[in-house]
Structure 1
């Protein structure tokens, strides 16, 4: 499921929750059924919101990472569990310029239904890139991305 599909599903969930919020009934079974559906929708909404923020953070990290050979960008790992995998030295053209296809492939592999998301990069020179040693990316681009993700998650939670 891609980012647009996740956002579309979140909006559909919000619409259904609004419908259930307006429900007025004196039938205990109907009320019980509506409450059970509402609980399930809130859980799905929360999971999809976390997935959306994680996937957007991953995309942003890949895009902000300097792209000389593409190796630093290719070293970003997205998964349900942390990974220390690092691609061997070489040229990674799919991670230079437009990285949309490579990012969407990583997102599809994890899926929006994962219980947790981990974004890692164990490339030996990544700390130097984060410190600003490359003219292609400002110092602190990783920290900035995670700050933005935390702010986005907080904002989306307030909107729920």
Structure 2
């Protein structure tokens, strides 16, 4: 797929505890900007949903078009989390509905249990039922866990040695 630079943006929504989706790195070849909205561990699900709604409204006010969205989900299937997840998934889907060939991906780590998988497929099904006049694709994807975080912790002896030698 070619790069769409006409105000197209990708939105990556990261729930607290969700791993970075490996396929999110592909977005830079498809849109001009990728924006990330990440939930810190202490933020309540409804507060996170409100923050996502505000971000989507700001993007729409600026004329940006969300053509790609990834919702990286946590393993939490509590009622409050699934309701918030459903709320912002619908909000993003509505914002994307005017864009031909837009895509919304619900993603989780491949090691999640069956309850999480079932909840994501049920949400995807519900979202698809609401797409009566839109061409937005809704997908569910389970990504392998990253082999490492990208952060490297040096042992204190190595760090101290480096500081002593460089100083």
Normalising by the residue count of structure 2, what TM-score does the alignment of the two structures yield?
0.28
Instruction: Give the greater-gyration-radius structure (CA).
Output: 1
| Structure with greater proportional helix content | 1
| Structure with greater proportional strand content | 2
RCO higher in structure (CA 8 A, sep ≥6): 1
